Structure 1
Amino acid sequence: MKRVLFALLIILAVTKANGDPGDFRPPAVPLIVFSPHISVWSFSDNLTDSDTVHWSGSPLDFHGLIDIDNTQVYRFLGTLPSNVPRLIQKKVVVQPWRTIYTFSTPDNTVELVLAFSQPTAIEDPYTYITFNVRALDGKAHNVRLYFDEGPMLGLNDKNEKVFWSRTDDNVTVLTMNAYNQIPFSIRGDATRNNWGYAHLIGPNKTVTNGYQGFGDNLRQAFVNHQAMPSDDTRKPRPAHDQSPSSAFIINLDQVTSQTISSYLIFLFDDVYSMLYFEEWQPPCWRTELNNDPKQLIQEAISYYESNMADITDSNELLITLLTNIGGSQYSLLGSLVTRQITGALTRTWSDKQNRSALYMKEISSDGDVSTVDVIYPSSPYFLWLHPEMLRDVLIPVLAYANNETDIHYNLAWAPHHLGTWSVCDILPDEQEQMPMEESANMLLMLAGIVQKLNKADFLQPYWDVMEVWAQYLNSTLPDPGNQLCTDDFEGPSPHNCNLALKGILGLGAYAILLNSTGQAQRATTYMNQAQDHANYWLKAARDDQNYRLQYDLPNTWSQKYNLIFQSILSLNLFPTDTAKLESNYYASKMLDFGIPLDSRSKLTKADWTSWVASFSDDLKEKDVIFGKLYKFANESPDRMPLSDWYDASNGHVLGFRARPVMGGIFIRALLESPLVDNIYIKSKQSSKRHGRVNKCTTS
């Protein structure tokens, strides 16, 4: 009965998706995305058109086959064996925490619904792979499924040696890992862990059998209805040498019109997740579960039912909220990027600090750890759904700036980042210096967190640091001079009006922080100074119909996306018609795929465009701009996880992919649906987690 129940959950998830997801063609489809390293995507319309890959495009292959009545085998995942015909893909639906593919046989006798379901708690490093099969022709059919995982999930390079093993206790666990493991021996952007253990788990031994060996041999034996080969013992060996695989065969026996469901679990244990200034930090779940991956595996199985119900409820809630706010296209965009955002995060445990820590990888634009001007554009997602997570990702940055590490931080402005993933060790003078950008970013986000949580106790150790940043802003405003801003691909922009705008609002944010702790007199002083700078800005930045790109460049313009934080924080430094004037001007610059970033070129940024879309009180105007972002996601000729940097005239990606900055599109939800400010989606993050010693969940 339970197998039928959870098959119905998947089917319900398909039929209750708001809008028509069948008409949406994602540029890439998230499958298994729960960390920067374990990030598996399909870059094709059909799951059989290409093999699955990492966000960077490097191979992370999975394969799936189905055998009907011991006579006909079809492919439903991957390109191998190439001579095996494909199932017909009917639909793909991408939800926030689940991706669902629907297939049928060419003769329409059997349907397969394949779902990749990610628990909503970021501490859970696993994905459920669920197979739901039913007969469509009123007859009974004998059905077997084959599913395998290639060797690269625990490697960075195909020349590395891979080792494999199995355990066959109450469940079958097939494990693959790098043979020579040295944590943190590699670092960078498109690199992956070559330490840790990739587990493919078959929870039900009565219907699943596991095998390990040369993937081509395993698949061919299944296709030819032959006895499966014994486990390969020629190990370790390079991953490219008769590429080994872990595989399961699931025997569903007789399938009728009543759906039969079975599942596997992919789980990754990286043992150590982050090297934070010489402290080796394990994933947080290891601290809760006594460093025992067997407990995590058992937990993933034992809580399958509650996790699947939670995923279904959370998807339905978030999709409904987004649809009510911005319509079906807005909901589909939000669903597409949710795992892209959370998949850039890693939560660890620090023995030194006796607390959990959260880190964000920049992804694709660089391999930096916790880049402040990447956290900033992602912040609307967290401020709307879970401000505690935004607080937690900023605390390691605050600690570094506050000299709580073994590196002396001596700059008068906020850090740019902490190091190169997954090692935090950068010296202050090695930073990409963005003094006004990062100082204001930190103060703006911290003020947003304090307002949402209605408490500022976590800031107690950091007031001296924030005071230094505020004094820097005040001394540099109203003209930031020749500085880099977050749009550093444009190079330094002297007298940048949008950057000055950020600094002014950042100073106002510091006044909010002071007020939150009863420092009313100092708050008033800083707010008055911010107002003086704003008054200067309004005159010096003004052009005939808009505000300039730079103070000294008439007849120029730029997206003043930073102005949106005035609405987020309820500041009143700029008149309300400032945003309206800009919004009206942007409408005259609209291209096929959005609004250019500024008057210098046709390039645009999707995150910032979503912010300026929220300038307008006119819902139709907002819908038009978000419709352009949807058009880019749906029609861009470049297939990759959603990019935020592209040509607004033709939809071609200019760079960047899979970045968490796409949390910026939740700005509309943050501003228009305040009733959920402090309510996170129904997940284990906001409740007692499975009876564990609760260290990873924050409040």
Structure 2
Amino acid sequence: MKGALALTFMSAYAALLVGSAIAAVTWTATPFNPASVPLAVRTPYLSAWLPQGSGTALNAAWPTFWTGSILGWAGFVKVDGTTFNFLGVPNVAGVTFQKAVQKSAKFTSTQSIFVLSAGPVDLTVTFLSPVEPTDLVKQSLPFSYVSLSAASTDGRAHSVQLYTDISAEWVSGDNSLGVNWSTTTGSTLVHQVQLQNPARYTEINDHTQYGSAYYATTNRAGTTFQTGPDVTLRAQFVNNGKLLNTQDTNFRAISDNWPVFAFAHDLGSITGASTPVVISVGHARDPAVQYIIANNGRQDRSLFFFSQFATARDAIISFTNDFANALSRANAFDTKVQNDASKISADYAAIVALSIRQALGATEITISKNSDGSFNTNDVLVFMKEISSDGNTNTVDVIFPAWPVLLYTNPALGKFLLAGLFEYQATGQYPNKWSVHDLGAHYPQAIGHNDGNDEAMPVEESGNMLIMALSYTQKTGDTSLIAKYTSLLDQWTQFLITDSLIPANQISTDDFAGPLANQTNLAIKGIIGIKAMSQIASLLGDTARASNYSSIASSFVTRWQTLALSSDKKHLTLSYGNSASWGLSYNLYADKLLKTNLFPASIYQMQTAWYKTVAQPFGVPLDTRHTYTKSDWEIWTAGIMTDNAARDLFISSVRKWAADGLSSQPLGDWYETTNGNPQGFRARPVVGGHLALLIL
């Protein structure tokens, strides 16, 4: 995770505020008002947010991509002839409309729900990004829903019409590029827009440069559509309450008279709550990922849903018509997460709910093709983009902090994430004796590092792979992964034996803090990695190897204790011999997760007492080199605390930071403990680590 690159995002912070009216919250916020609200978050390229700051209503800012670039998404509701804007901040010259007044905002694990008052009618706007981790077809669909329901608030009947559109900004990171589009009619209306000159596997400003954006709705009575310039279509609706069912064929640049793709729905006269109007939005591309195979070959991989749908258009039609069922499944998932996390605390449940869409939204589920062109659904690989830090593909030390969300929702997703890393290294193309750092420098290419010049984190990544492989096996009872890749796991263990007790000068996952020799916390990871291989060998019936590695790990712990304690025996050091130093010893979490019980209870008790004495207003610093921290590692550290007061200190600090209103970017994980200011990262999948307490 090249943290240095993330510093460039500091300058982008101001840009994220463009178009936002930062103000105090005037609505009911449940469970709290986050810096940015997830609207449509399913994949690295379907990632739409409401930049919220300290109080921005749904109609007081444009939705943005996770980077902060605008995604045109506008909405109006017409009530008894008076038009109100409820989504985005459209400027329509020559026509008048009012702003609906936001009354409430709520988020769950899968939904963001806004209620806005438009005169005598309340409009409920529900953004649903399904989380369906045990259904690979559904989880791989790169689509989200927005549903709109109106209800009279005065008991009288009111005439209501609805309008929404998206712009071509959804297909590129460069608004000067040319696009074309089409609309297909029938029982479902589908707008499709794409670049005129797509470039496979490329990005501009983190937006994909190929594939198509889709906007779809059921073609029920009273539904109209239109494509054309933003001002023209919005004025058409404001003046007439409907669209013309016409298509603009003047294909042009995204920013040339801003082509938009619109639907209008006439609800007629309503009194009680109307049947929801359902609209689907998404972005699909094929192939999705390029993967390295033996002999430096290249394999094109498709999203899993293509095994059931001939085209993305077919898929979004099916998706649109499945809304009622999808909502039911989402509500059940939300309830389960809420119940599980609330057993720890309400603050914890809120953090978890905000983290799940973001964590899984960095992943894509792929399959390869057989020689006859059919899809091989037995060859599943999941890919994860290292969002906002450096864009790598399947970065091991990004998968590792995100790992708890995978173990909680479906461990098989974790297996499929690791499989690509294992398969590549088993081909023998990666030359180093430790685990590779990532599968590719730039998503969505997973083309390896045959030169061995990936970012070197030898102890970090080797320990991570061993710990994740064992935890998957323990959680599922499936030994196929460890059986197939025993030799690689053993190779990495051999390396850890040489370099983990007294780690050479190197970087760890927190690379933005710089390299350091003799890292106490890094040594913990390496030692647990060795013990993990002992357990792996035991599961595979290799008792001699299991016994040997177990004794090595135990002897290392004994020696480590003489190196790692401060001179006053009150805390672990950051690095051996520096008694003034300390840090978050979050790697002890793996000792609890794997139930290896390598480290004595006294270590956990000592650290629990220590962290209470060094907490800042927004949490405990990552280490003594700086006063910033990482939210994922804070929650992992909460998992090793021996009393609830210390555990809850970490949880409440992360919740306080997430709700402090000092940022308007998607949930970050790197922030300043003294004042709660963000340090650069945003929208990263590592927030999956916030589920760490749910899997202990």
* TM-score past 0.5 threshold: yes
Matched residue of 1:429: which SS? coil
The 1:366–1:435 alpha-carbon spacing in structure 2 relative to 1, beyond 3 Å, is same
Counterpart residue number, 1:410: 431
Mapped contact 2:190–2:313 kept (Cα < 8 A): no
Unaligned runs of 5+ in 1: 1-19, 672-699
Aligned pairs for 1:83-482 (under 5 A) are: 84-105=97-118, 107=119, 109-121=120-132, 122-184=139-201, 186-187=202-203, 190-225=205-240, 228=243, 231-277=246-292, 278-289=298-309, 291-324=310-343, 326-351=344-369, 354-403=378-427, 408-419=429-440, 420-427=442-449, 428-482=451-505
Counterpart residue number, 1:641: 666
User: Offset at 1:118?
Assistant: 1.9
Counterpart residue number, 2:6: none
Mapped contact 2:44–2:361 kept (Cα < 8 A): yes
Matched residue of 1:640: which SS? coil
Mapped contact 1:583–1:612 kept (Cα < 8 A): no
Matched residue of 1:635: which SS? coil
- Structure 1 counterpart of 2:149, one-letter code: N
- Structure 2 counterpart of 1:24, one-letter code: F
Mapped contact 1:202–1:210 kept (Cα < 8 A): no
Counterpart residue number, 1:75: 85
- The correspondence for 1:605, drawn from 622, 630, 636, is 630
Mapped contact 2:152–2:271 kept (Cα < 8 A): yes
Counterpart residue number, 2:14: none
Instruction: Give me the whole-angstrom Cα distance separating, in 2, the residues matched to 1:258 and 1:429.
Output: 61
Equivalent pairs, count: 642
Instruction: Give me the whole-angstrom Cα distance separating, in 1, the residues matched to 2:255 and 2:314.
Output: 32
- Structure 2 counterpart of 1:191, one-letter code: D
1:34 aligns with 2:17: no
Counterpart residue number, 2:695: 670
Counterpart residue number, 2:549: 526
User: Offset at 1:180?
Assistant: 1.3
User: Offset at 1:94?
Assistant: 0.9
User: Offset at 1:636?
Assistant: 4.2
Instruction: Give me the whole-angstrom Cα distance separating, in 1, the residues matched to 2:227 and 2:522.
Output: 56
1:488 aligns with 2:498: no
Counterpart residue number, 1:691: none
Aligned pairs for 1:589-604 (under 5 A) are: 589-604=614-629
Matched residue of 1:426: which SS? coil
Of all paired residues, the percent bearing the same amino acid is 28
Matched residue of 2:276: which SS? strand
Mapped contact 1:148–1:248 kept (Cα < 8 A): yes
Mapped contact 1:117–1:128 kept (Cα < 8 A): yes
1:53 aligns with 2:64: yes
After superposition, give the CA deviation of every residue in 1:323-367 in whole Å (9 maximum; x if it has no partner): 12x222211111111110010001111226751210111100110
Mapped contact 2:165–2:262 kept (Cα < 8 A): yes
The 1:460–1:132 alpha-carbon spacing in structure 2 relative to 1, beyond 3 Å, is same
Instruction: Give me the whole-angstrom Cα distance separating, in 2, the residues matched to 1:57 and 1:94.
Output: 20
Query: Cα RMSD (Å) of the superposition?
Result: 1.6
User: Offset at 1:59?
Assistant: 1.4
Mapped contact 1:443–1:509 kept (Cα < 8 A): yes
- The correspondence for 1:64, drawn from 62, 67, 75, is 75
User: Offset at 1:193?
Assistant: 1.4
Instruction: Give me the whole-angstrom Cα distance separating, in 1, the residues matched to 2:367 and 2:465.
Output: 23
Unaligned runs of 5+ in 2: 1-27, 133-138, 293-297, 371-375
Mapped contact 2:143–2:316 kept (Cα < 8 A): no
The 1:68–1:43 alpha-carbon spacing in structure 2 relative to 1, beyond 3 Å, is same
Instruction: Give me the whole-angstrom Cα distance separating, in 2, the residues matched to 1:199 and 1:205.
Output: 19
User: Offset at 1:119?
Assistant: 2.2
Mapped contact 2:430–2:452 kept (Cα < 8 A): no
The 1:205–1:230 alpha-carbon spacing in structure 2 relative to 1, beyond 3 Å, is closer
1:43 aligns with 2:51: yes
Mapped contact 2:668–2:681 kept (Cα < 8 A): yes
Mapped contact 2:180–2:196 kept (Cα < 8 A): yes
Instruction: Give me the whole-angstrom Cα distance separating, in 2, the residues matched to 1:133 and 1:227.
Output: 17
Mapped contact 2:149–2:276 kept (Cα < 8 A): yes
- Structure 1 counterpart of 2:422, one-letter code: L
